[in-house]
Each structure stands twice: as structure tokens, then as C-alpha cells.
Amino acid sequence: MSEFRIGQGSDVHRLAAGRPLIIGGVEIDSDLGAEGHSDADVLLHAITDALLGSLALGDIGSHFPNTDDRWRAASSLQFLRYAVDLVRQRGYEVVNIDSTVHLERPKLREHIDEMRERIAHTIDIEPSAISVKAKTGEAVGDVGERRALRADAVVLISKG
Ligand SMILES: [Zn+2]
């Protein structure tokens, strides 16, 4: 009988001029980018936290402290790869990932499939097992007023 576990992750970054906007491993043309350590990829951080959370392995900050210069400009794809390696070392496989990015603009629709493929390639599963959804903030709050972007992710893993 298979053993299942679920994990949940969420993340937020401030938006600022003069920073790149990288979401799901894809660089997106935008007047505002994401502030933060590493490449500030809000979606990959949420998914990495969901993977770590599925096995109660702490969070991204405990594995990659933002006080550590090694991660200053790191690609968050390597955080994602690290988390999925921990999952596999414990005998689990990723069943599927569902996620939502909250960003007022630009619209992400045309980039979604590339994000899914980038994530799928990095963790070595089919793109059909990865869902990325995009929502605006309806012009209110930190997302709607373009002060921040957020991401939420849920992951299911199984063993046996
Ligand atoms: Zn983050």
C-alpha cells in the first residue's frame, strides 16, 4: 500500500525597480522585479518549502540561510533540486504539484507552460504533474498595488 504525504508552501517578495523578475525559473519582462536573496523566485521558493514540508524537513531558510553569501545570487532551481533529492533519498516520489502565483502585472499566462517545463525538468517528472496558476490582486492590497508578489504551492508525494 502506498504511503502518501502532503506539503504546503507560500512565499512573498517585494517588487522593486532595477531587479529581474524570475518566476518558476523563467525571466519575465517587467518594469518591476522581485527583491530578495538568491534570484528571489517566489514560485520556486514556495514549491521548495512545500517539498521540505511534506517530510517535515524544515523550511528553505533553515537549509539555505540568507546570511550565507553562497546563495546571494543563486538560481532557485538548485534549491528545488536539493529539496526533491531529500524527498527521493527518503524513498518518496513526487505525485503532483499545484501552485498559484499572485502578481498584478504583467500577465503570466504566456509563460506558464515554460515554467511548468522548467520545474518538471529540474525535478525530473512530467509537466502534466505540475500546475501553475496565475491570479492578480484585483488592484487592492500589496499584490494589487504592486508592492509585492506571492506564491502558494501544494505537493503530494508517495512511497511504495
Ligand atoms: Zn522567497
* 76 Cα–ligand 1 center, Å: 9
- Structure confidence at residue 88 (pLDDT): 98
* 153 Cα–ligand 1 center, Å: 12
Residues 43-66: tens digit of each pLDDT: 999 999 999 999 999 999 999 888
**Which of 38, 37, 23 shows the shortest CA–CA distance to 106?**
23
* 19 Cα–ligand 1 center, Å: 14
* 143 Cα–ligand 1 center, Å: 15
* 45 Cα–ligand 1 center, Å: 5
* 38 Cα–ligand 1 center, Å: 8
- Structure confidence at residue 107 (pLDDT): 96
User: Taking 80 as the threshold, does the pLDDT of residue 73 lie above it?
Assistant: no
* 39 Cα–ligand 1 center, Å: 9
Mean of per-residue pLDDT scores for the chain: 96
How far is it, in rounded angstroms, from Cα 139 to Cα 97?
Answer: 28
> Residue 25 corresponds to which cell in the numbers above?
525559473
Query: What integer is the mean pLDDT of 13-34?
Result: 97
Question: Position of cell 512530467?
Answer: 126
Q: Could you write out the DSSP letters of every residue in 55-80?
A: TT---HHHHS-TT-GGGTT--THHHH
- Structure confidence at residue 26 (pLDDT): 98
89 pLDDT band, cuts 50/70/90, is very high
pTM: 0.97
H/E stretch holding 15 reads strand 3-17
* 69 Cα–ligand 1 center, Å: 16
H/E stretch holding 81 reads helix 77-89
* 2 Cα–ligand 1 center, Å: 32
